[in-house]
Amino acid sequence: MKKKKKEKKKVRLAMIWDEVKKKLVNSASFIQDSEVPFHVANLDDLHQKHIRWLRTLPRVKPFYAVKCNSTPAVIRMLSTLGTGFDCASKGEIELVLSLGVTPEKIIFAHTTKPQSHIKYASTRGVDMMTFDCEEELLKISACHTRAKLVLRIAVDDSKSAIKLSQKFGTKPSVVKKLLERCKELDLEVIGVSFHVGSGCTDSLAYRQAIEDARHVFDTVLLGFQMKLLDIGGGFPGNEGFQIQFDEFSKVINEALDEFFPADSGVQVIAEPGRYYVDSAFTLAVNVFAKKVVMDDVTRIRGVYNVSIDHTHTRHYPVVESGEKRYRSIIWGPTCDSLDRVTATYWMPEVQVGDWLLIDNMGAYTVCCSSDFNFFDKADIYPVLSAQTWNMFNLS
C-alpha cells in the first residue's frame, strides 16, 4: 500500500499579524512548493514606532540609518512619515534620492568617505556631513566647499554591546585644533554628533554624551554658528523595547532641557535604525535537512540564508505549543561550519518541509545576508493595512 505523502506544515500565523498573514501565507502559492526563505515586513509597525518616537522624543527629529535595512518599501514608508535619512555612502545616497527624498533631508554620516563619494554628494546637493579628523577635512575642502560639517566626538560607550568610539569620533583634546583647521580651510561647521554604541544598557551614557557635546559648543570661539546636535543611534526596537526606550528617552529629554534648552536655537536630530525596523520584519524559513544523533540533539540543517544581528531573536516552529520539545541545534544551509544559528534550543520536533518563524529580523539582517554557495537570499514581502494606505494616500 502506498504511503500517504506527509503534508507540509505551514507557517503558524498566530505568532504574527493574524489577518494579514492569513491572506499572505495561507493563500500564497509561492509557499506551497518553494524552499526559499522570505521576510514579511509589517509597514504598520514602522508607522506605530514613528508615532511613539514623536510622542516620546518630541524635540528629536529622526534621520533613519539606511545601513540598518535599505529595503525600498521601508525607505518609502519612512519618507512618507517625514523622517530624514542617515546615509554612509554614495550608494545609500543614490538609493534614497531615487525614492524621492530631497537632499536637505540627508546627512552623510560617515567620518571616512572616499573622495568620489564626497564629490557625488556635492553634485546632488547633499551638504550635511560628519568628520572627525584633519585628513577628512582636506578631502572635503577639495571636493565640497559648500559642505555643512558636523564634528563627531568620541563618547563613553563602555556599556554598549557594539562599541564605536574606538573607530569613530575625535577626543576632546583635539577638538579645538580641528575647528581651527576648519577655519583655515574656510569650511562651515554647524554642529556636533556622537553615538553611544548599539545595545547600550546604561541610559546615563546619553546624558554624559550630551553634556560632552555641550562642552564643545561652549568652547567654540571661532565664529562658527553651531546649530545642530546629532545624538546618534543605538535605540532598541525589538519586541519589549518600550520600557528601555522610555527610560532612554526620559534621560535624553532631561539632558536636552538642561544643556540644550528649547530656546537655545539648536536643532536636535538622531540616527535610529533598529528602532524602526527590528520588530517589523519576521522571517519564514524552510527546513530542508534534519539529523537526529544519539545524544538526543536534533540538528536542523538548511534553514535559511540570512545574517542574524546581535540583538535577541525568537524562533518559532510551526507546530502547536503543547508538543514535546527536544534539545536542538539550528544550522544555516551553507558549507561553512560556522554557519550556526543556535547552539542549543529547545523546540518541538520538526520535519523536512516544515517552516519556522523568526521574529525581530529587521535590523542588520537583510543588508548583511550573503549568497555564499549561491543559496537564495530571503525574499521580502511588505504588507500594509488598508487604513494606513488610505491615511497617506499611497499608490
How far apart CA 241 and CA 161 sit, in angstroms, is: 16
DSSP 92-127: HHHHHHHTT--GGGEEE--SS--HHHHHHHHHTT--
Residue 167 C-alpha cell reads as: 573607530
- Cα 245–chain centre separation: 15
**Residue 335 a catalytic site member:** yes
Q: Select which of 133, 200, 335, 368 is catalytic.
A: 335
- Own/partner long-range contacts of 78-87 (Cβ < 8 Å, ≥24 apart): 78/46, 78/50, 78/276, 79/105, 80/392, 80/394, 81/46, 81/47, 81/50, 83/50, 84/269, 86/233, 86/271, 86/273, 87/126
**Helices within the chain (DSSP H only):** 18-21, 30-33, 43-56, 72-81, 90-98, 115-123, 134-143, 172-184, 204-219, 242-259, 274-277, 386-391
Of 188, 89, 105, 102, which is closest to residue 148 (Cα–Cα)?
Answer: 188
How far apart CA 34 and CA 304 sit, in angstroms, is: 12
How far apart CA 78 and CA 171 sit, in angstroms, is: 33
Give the number of other Cβ atoms within 10 Å of residue 151's Cβ. Answer: 27
For 328, the 3-state DSSP assignment is strand
> Which H or E element spans position 377?
none
Q: Which residues are catalytic?
A: 335
